[in-house]
């Protein structure tokens, strides 16, 4: 590629990026970013010419995490996944809006304002896009980008995918590198992918599915080989499991109906449907918020306005010793209400006054993994647990408990009950706690209701197989 062509391409990309962000009535973007994927020989240029948005907790250029405290932060390096997408030829055009530090399920907790759901563009009132990756989902739903990156800690890719009527995928924990992703809860965080169809998600996933020496939590090549070598029969009949614990009272009529229709679709194709029980699912939501807030409190302790983050007053460490209120002031002004609440919850959990809540949550997590191992046919190679001969290939459920609320309705319910928003994670949290891969497929494009599929740890191949089967019926 000649220098003249390079310059011309960069210029065209700058115009594209500017146009995308300026034509953003949904507040999906926090900032524009021009990064030219050149397919530079290290990759295979498999995503040449495709545009994408990165959630604004991926380190690349200006990176705010949707927070005032990082409003002036410029990352000195780029996340591993951004580099891989560069090599594959993808074009980064903007940083997507998010709930502050990934804490929320509505994308109304951002310092930069709420993201609006493009699926309800012509509704009488604006609707939530879902969170925390609401900007990433909205950018795809509005056709502003071909795909986007988000992070999924407890459902933060799958829930907005459901609300916005797009596909949202969370891989097995450790499949995709988190190096350069600003953490919320590091034992739960995963890099997720959103796009308008399963094929596009899978294409991006193939680019990102690599070992990364910079991230010690990425899975080894030996494990990846074991996953890939597990035989598959393309003409097989899948066994679809229905966890009885997901039949909750809070499940809306529309989501219940979509669930039954999806099950009937698999049944009509000759696949086997069976009910299963995973008792620890009932305790998973409380266990998740115990673990997640504790890890968040630890991770966010570094943002004090002295070492990291915005400071209201320019003071040295020595001056801080003389004014012990500066850090408190910086954090009070720098963090929003939801982040402050979760930091307080996390610090209480980590304190001696809380008893052994963290230990109990960890025990629930261990029980949940064991129960999933007993349900799936596919072995858990990480724990060297064999699969169940009479088990399931896939678990199926709705993605969200309720229908997509308006912003006004959502905020009113939260005012009545501050824990209301946490219930939105009820169906997505179990896969996150166990580190399982999961994907949300839009069932009804005119009125989005996501259907969630889950498979055993490392079994992304079956997950995509089932997702493609389901998608073929929703688009036929």
Q: What is the 3 state secondary structure string of 334-355? A: HCCHHHHHHHHHHHHHHCHHHC
Task: Give the number of domains in the chain.
Answer: 2
**Are 332 and 379 in the same domain?**
no
Which residue, 310, 337, 354, sits at the end of a domain? 354
Cβ atoms of residues 414 and 421 within 8 Å: yes
Domain contains 272: yes
Domain contains 5: no
Which residue, 298, 324, 354, sits at the end of a domain? 354
**Are 87 and 150 in the same domain?**
yes
CA neighbor of 190 nearest in space, from 468, 454, 431, 451 = 431
**Are 231 and 334 in the same domain?**
no
At 108 the pLDDT is: 95
At 206 the pLDDT is: 97
At 466 the pLDDT is: 95
**Are 298 and 325 in the same domain?**
yes
Q: How are beta strands 167-170 and 190-195 bridged, if at all? A: antiparallel
Residue 172, φ and ψ in degrees, nearest 5: -60, 145
Q: Could you give the angle at which helices 337-350 and 357-375 cross, rounded to 10 degrees?
A: 100
**Are 350 and 366 in the same domain?**
no
Domain contains 188: yes
Domain contains 179: yes
At 99 the pLDDT is: 97
Cβ atoms of residues 457 and 382 within 8 Å: yes
Cβ atoms of residues 334 and 67 within 8 Å: yes
**Are 271 and 236 in the same domain?**
yes
pTM exceeding 0.85: yes
Cβ atoms of residues 90 and 195 within 8 Å: no
Sort residue 27 into left (φ over 0), alpha (ψ -120 to 50) or beta. Answer: left
Cβ atoms of residues 118 and 141 within 8 Å: yes
**Are 246 and 166 in the same domain?**
yes
Per-10-residue mean pLDDT of the chain, 476 residues long, equals: 46 53 87 64 75 97 95 94 96 97 96 96 95 97 97 97 97 98 97 98 97 97 92 81 94 92 94 97 96 96 83 59 73 94 94 87 97 97 94 97 94 87 91 98 80 98 95 70
CA neighbor of 278 nearest in space, from 365, 372, 360, 211 = 372
Domain contains 39: yes
Beta bridge partners of 147: 52, 195
At 1 the pLDDT is: 41
At 427 the pLDDT is: 96
**Are 334 and 319 in the same domain?**
yes
Beta bridge partners of 169: 193, 439
Which residue, 354, 385, 408, sits at the end of a domain? 354
If you search the block for the tokens 């020989």, which residue do you land on?
Answer: 41
Q: Please, what sign has the CA dihedral across residues 58, 292, 111, 402?
A: positive
**Are 333 and 349 in the same domain?**
yes
Local structure of 255: helix, strand or coil: helix
Domain contains 103: yes
At 316 the pLDDT is: 56
Local structure of 450: helix, strand or coil: strand
Range(s) of the domain holding residue 294 = 287-354
At 16 the pLDDT is: 54
Helix (H) or strand (E) holding 210: none
**Are 322 and 272 in the same domain?**
no
**Which two structure tokens, joined as six digits, stand for 411?**
């905020």
CATH of the domain at 95: 3.90.1300.10
Per-residue pLDDT of 446-470, as tens digits, reads 667 899 999 999 999 999 999 999 9
Q: How are beta strands 239-243 and 394-398 bridged, if at all? A: parallel
At 473 the pLDDT is: 73
How many Å apart are CA 226 and CA 217, to the nearest integer?
17
At 249 the pLDDT is: 87
At 326 the pLDDT is: 82
At 241 the pLDDT is: 97
**Where in the sequence numbering do the catalytic residues fall?**
55, 132, 156
């Amino acid at each position: 590629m000649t220098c003249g062509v390079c310059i011309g391409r960069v210029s065209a990309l700058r115009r594209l990026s500017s146009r995308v962000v300026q034509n953003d009535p949904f507040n999906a973007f926090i900032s524009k970013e021009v990064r030219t994927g050149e397919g530079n020989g290290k990759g295979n240029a498999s995503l040449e010419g495709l545009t994408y948005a990165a959630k604004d907790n991926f380190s690349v250029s200006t990176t705010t995490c949707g927070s005032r405290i990082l409003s002036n932060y410029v990352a000195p390096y780029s996340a591993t996944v951004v580099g891989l997408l560069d090599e594959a030829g993808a074009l980064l055009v903007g940083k997507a809006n998010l709930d502050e530090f990934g804490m929320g399920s509505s994308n109304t907790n951002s310092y930069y304002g709420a993201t609006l759901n493009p699926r309800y563009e012509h509704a009488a009132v604006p609707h939530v896009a879902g969170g925390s990756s609401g900007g990433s989902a909205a950018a795809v739903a509005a056709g502003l980008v071909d795909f986007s990156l988000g992070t999924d800690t407890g459902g933060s890719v799958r829930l907005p995918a459901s609300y916005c009527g797009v596909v949202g995928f969370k891989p097995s924990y450790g499949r995709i590198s988190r190096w350069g992703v600003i953490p919320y809860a590091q034992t739960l965080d995963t890099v997720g992918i959103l796009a308008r169809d399963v094929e596009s998600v899978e294409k991006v996933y193939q680019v990102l599915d690599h070992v990364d020496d910079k991230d010690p939590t990425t899975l080894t090549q030996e494990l990846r080989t074991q996953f890939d070598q597990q035989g598959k029969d393309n003409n097989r009949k899948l066994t679809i499991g229905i966890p009885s614990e997901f039949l909750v009272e809070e499940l809306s009529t529309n989501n219940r109906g979509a669930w039954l229709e999806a099950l009937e679709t698999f049944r009509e194709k000759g696949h086997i449907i069976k009910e299963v029980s995973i008792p620890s699912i009932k305790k998973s939501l409380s266990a998740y918020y115990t673990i997640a807030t504790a890890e968040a409190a630890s991770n966010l302790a570094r943002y004090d306005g002295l070492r990291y983050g915005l400071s209201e007053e320019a003071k040295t460490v020595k001056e801080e010793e003389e004014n012990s209120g500066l850090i408190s002031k910086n954090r009070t002004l720098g963090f929003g209400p939801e982040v402050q609440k979760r930091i307080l919850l996390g610090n209480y959990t980590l304190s001696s006054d809380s008893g052994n809540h963290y230990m109990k949550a960890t025990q629930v997590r261990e029980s949940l993994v064991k129960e999933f191992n007993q349900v799936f046919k596919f072995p858990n190679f990480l724990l060297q647990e064999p699969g169940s001969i009479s088990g399931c290939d896939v678990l199926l459920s709705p993605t969200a408990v309720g229908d997509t609320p308006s912003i006004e309705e959502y905020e009113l319910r939260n005012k009545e009950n501050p824990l209301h928003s946490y219930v939105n994670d009820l169906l997505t949290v179990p896969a996150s706690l166990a580190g399982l891969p999961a994907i949300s497929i839009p069932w009804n494009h005119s009125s989005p209701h996501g259907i969630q599929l889950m498979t055993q740890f490392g079994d992304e191949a079956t997950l995509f197989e089932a997702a493609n089967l389901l998608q073929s019926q929703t688009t036929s």
